[in-house]
Amino acid sequence: MKGFSEDIEEAQSHDSERFENPFSEYNAKRMSIGQIIDYWCSPFSILKPKIGDEKRIFKEKQPMLFMGGRGSGKTMFLRYFSYEVQRDMMLRKMTNNPSEKSIIDQFKENGGLGLYLTMDSPSLETYKGCDIPDAQWNHIFIHDFELHVCKLYLDMISDLFSRGQLNKKFELKFIPRFSRMLGMKKEASTLEEIKAHIDEELDSVSNYRGRAPFSNEKFNRDRIFEAQYLTYGIPELIKSTIDEFRSDDFNFVLLIDEYENYSEEKQKYINTLIKFHRQGISFRVGMRLEGLHTRATINSSEFLKENRDYTSYVFDDIIDNQREYQRLLSKIARNRLRSVPLFKNHSDIVDILGKEENLEEEALELTKNGKETRHFSLLKVVPNIDVKGTQKVIENSKNPLLEMMNILWIIRGRNKEIVKKAMNDYLTKRKNDLSNKYKSDFINKYKLSLMFLLASQYRKRKRYYSFNTFSYLSSGIIGHFIELCRRSFEIAYYESREHLIIDGKINSSLQDRAAREMARTEIDMIIPIKDYGDRLNNFTKNLGHLFRLYHEDYLLSYPETNQFSIESIPPASSSKNIIEKAIEWSIIQKKSRLQQSSIGGKRDEVYTLSRIYSPNFDITYRTRGGIIERLTAADIEGMCKPTWKPETRLKKSREKSMRKHPESTRRGKHYDYVKDTVNLDHFF
């Protein structure tokens, strides 16, 4: 077939246009300065009530701790405020407006300047072992840390100097004082000489780390820097020599990323810097949730105290306005789509994915346009029921979800004629108590659950698709949303290329595939977690399966259950460690507000399983109020094993419920305990 051959030939020609996925490369560490600026979407419209505006990041004297899961945007956030990125933004402004202020004046106006510091876990791990005492390693680490901070300041000063932002007067004052501070044998006359000296000192630490495994030598230098000496000394020196930075209100901000990589001992040292920070110097620290391993400082009686010594912001938690969050996601997606020529005419992700699911359409597809009626077999649980007769009364082949609603009401004891009336009143928009109740149950409480249940009746899976669903699945982590889009585009390019490129659409089945593959990948990434991988893996799967059982419950006793609370567990116990690790790795997320774990129950800390895993377990992608599982330490320990059975747990919950409400439980009337007044659609 000539046409097909030509098609293949064109595809295989190495000249053919290579597909560029607009959602690839979203690791902020890897982004160039230009990409950070181009892809930056200010989150302050969402963050404002808590953090304030951009300038506050520089001006605020109190240290700030930013916590969030992998992909939540911490690195992007911190890098944005770094000297290099701010400088390039200023340069762009100056290019567009030649009368714009100089770089140094713009920094002065900002009220601060950020220096981005990150140390990866492999290097931090080496300050131990080799038969060298821990105390000695701590000294070496502190010395090394001080040198790293020094290097950041030096790079910044050198850059300002090379751009003509600093005059000769500065050079004459700063360099000699700096070289005296560093204890250089021969006083430097240029910044280059100082740089060479610092590099030599840094190399000496690295070389020692390289030799330590094979020899017993001691670390020996002319000058070993103590804690705070350079971290505070250098900014004070800069302030005294650069007029633009002299003001007390001008802040040098150390942007420390990946704080979770620092061991407890190392964090003590940096906590000390944070606690006892000086005028004109502050800290913005990014870390995973539960990445703060200790609040202790090097002074055994002093500890970091939240709100007094620092303020913390949880990225996943700050975004509590779903609409604003979606707006942000849409903006981020638009920037990315516009940057790829192939998609510049299709830059609205909402349009590409579809705004929301169409559950009615999905239900019709499942039942082959109403021709299949397998789901009516659920009625068999009602004793002595005429299934066919009842079906005739309550059916609605144009809307299988309404049929499911009706089935649920019948199972719960309502008369079939009343059910039919309620449905008809709802459809004809007749207002009365019955139709209001019907509408409330259907729209607010059960619609999505009914869809899951319907799918399970046909041994099919509910699909995960649409912008709305993806925004929920991402669980407040922007990186997850981007990855969901990336996968969807990749699959669509293979399966349905024309529909993607020409029509600018991705159909729901392909999006569903992307969501499921991502859920699987995320689950697979749990096992390699150091020390806890296996247990966390079992815990996650058991939790997911437990929630799945709730979704399969034909009584829908606890619709869309995906939350749990924890009875107090001893600190430093293994179950406590599991929970902390699960939070650190964003496997579970803690809700910001205490909540009743059940109606009339006491207020506990409530956790949800990250919704990115939902497609793996075929459970809801949202989080609602309602009955929550309450886990003890023993439960958690049990769930860390592959042998744990979620069915046993569910049976216990039902038995407990039945003991409490024997009458209504018989037909599932305990649904009444899911009150309509509970806020059902908040983000978490």
Partner 1 sequence: MIQQQIFHMTEINKTQFCEEREFDFLMIAAGSDRRAYEILRKCKQHEISIKKLIVFDFNERRKGLEKKAIKEYKEFESFGYDFSLIDCSIMDPASCLRSQEISALGISSTNTVALDISCFTKPYFFSILKYLKEKAEIGKMNIFYTEPISYVFSKGIYTHYHSTKGFLHYMEIPGYPGLSRGGTRKKILLILLGFDGELSAGLDEDISPNETIAINGFPAYSPIFKDISLMNNEQLLLNIPRHQNLKYVPANNPFEMFNFLEAFKNNYPESFLNIAPLGPKPMALGACLYALSDASTRILYPFPQKYENKISDRCANSWSYSIPLK
Partner 2 sequence: MFEGTQSEIPTLDQLMDLIELKNRTVWDRYFERRHVESWLDNFKGDICERDYERRLALWLLLNFVYYNYEEVRHLCLILFKKYIHKRLIESNGGGSTMNERIASVLRKVQFAQLGFPSESSGCLLYYFRQENDLSIGNFHKYFKPEKDKSKEQETEEIAFIDDNTLSGRQADSYIGIQGKNDELANKKISLLTFIASYEAIERLEKKNIEVFSCIKLGERDKCFSTDSIVFRDFPSCRNEAKKISEHYGSKICPDIPLGYSDGQCLFGFFYNTPDNTLPIFWGEKEGWQPILIRHDKKYSKGYDTDERFF
Q: Which residues bind partner 1 (CB under 8 A)?
A: 18, 24-25, 27, 29-30, 70, 75, 84, 118, 120-123, 125-126, 130-131, 147-148, 151-152, 154-155, 199, 202-203, 206-207, 209-211, 213-214, 258, 486, 521, 524-525, 527-534
> At closest approach, how far in Å is the CB of 178 from partner 1?
15
> At closest approach, how far in Å is the CB of 588 from partner 1?
19
- 118/496 with CB nearer partner 2: 496
- Ramachandran angles phi, psi of 167, nearest 5°: -95, 180
- 62/206 with CB nearer partner 1: 206
b/e 363-381 (16+ beta carbons within 10 angstroms → b): bbebbeeeeeeebbebbee
- 18/308 with CB nearer partner 1: 18
In sequence order, what DSSP letters do the residues of 605-662 get, joined into one string? -EEEE-GGGHHHHT--SS---S--EEE-HHHHHHHTSTT--HHHHHHHHHHHHHHH-H
Q: Which residue has the tokens 């597809």?
A: 365
Q: Does 96 bind partner 2 (CB under 8 A)?
A: no
Dihedral sign (CA 549, 552, 554, 559): positive
CB atoms within 10 A of CB 588: 24
- 13/215 with CB nearer partner 2: 13
Rounded CA gap, 578 and 226, in Å? 36
- 75/468 with CB nearer partner 1: 75
Q: Token digits for 450?
A: 């009914």
Residue 429 partner contact from partner 1, partner 2, none using kind-dependent CB cut-offs of 5 to 8 Å: none
- Ramachandran angles phi, psi of 401, nearest 5°: -70, -35
Distances (CA, A) of 81 to 102, 149, 319, 664: 18, 16, 20, 59
Residue 110 partner contact from partner 1, partner 2, none using kind-dependent CB cut-offs of 5 to 8 Å: none
Residue 532 partner contact from partner 2, partner 1, none using kind-dependent CB cut-offs of 5 to 8 Å: partner 1
Q: Cβ distance 426 to 435 under 8 Å?
A: yes
Q: Does 19 bind partner 2 (CB under 8 A)?
A: yes
> At closest approach, how far in Å is the CB of 586 from partner 2?
26
Residue 122 partner contact from partner 1, partner 2, none using kind-dependent CB cut-offs of 5 to 8 Å: partner 1
- Residues 483-502: x where in contact with partner 2 by CB under 8 A, - otherwise, as a string: -------x--xxx-x-----
Rounded CA gap, 202 and 303, in Å? 30
- Kindly give, in sequence order, each residue whose CB lies less than 8 Å from that of residue 208, ignoring residues fewer than 6 positions away: 140, 217, 219
Residue 7 partner contact from partner 2, partner 1, none using kind-dependent CB cut-offs of 5 to 8 Å: partner 2
DSSP state of 554: T
- Residues 496-535: x where in contact with partner 2 by CB under 8 A, - otherwise, as a string: -x--------------------------------------
Stretch that binds partner 2, among 9-17, 173-181, 331-339, 536-544 (CB under 8 A): 9-17
Residue 14 partner contact from partner 1, partner 2, none using kind-dependent CB cut-offs of 5 to 8 Å: partner 2
Q: Token digits for 249?
A: 């209100």
- 46/194 with CB nearer partner 1: 194
- 130/502 with CB nearer partner 1: 130
b/e 261-283 (16+ beta carbons within 10 angstroms → b): bbbebbbbbbbbbbbebeebbbb
Greatest Cα pair distance, the chain, in angstroms, is: 101
> At closest approach, how far in Å is the CB of 285 from partner 1?
16
- 70/173 with CB nearer partner 1: 70
User: Interface residues with partner 2 (CB under 8 A)?
Assistant: 1, 4-5, 7-9, 11-12, 14, 18-19, 490, 493-495, 497
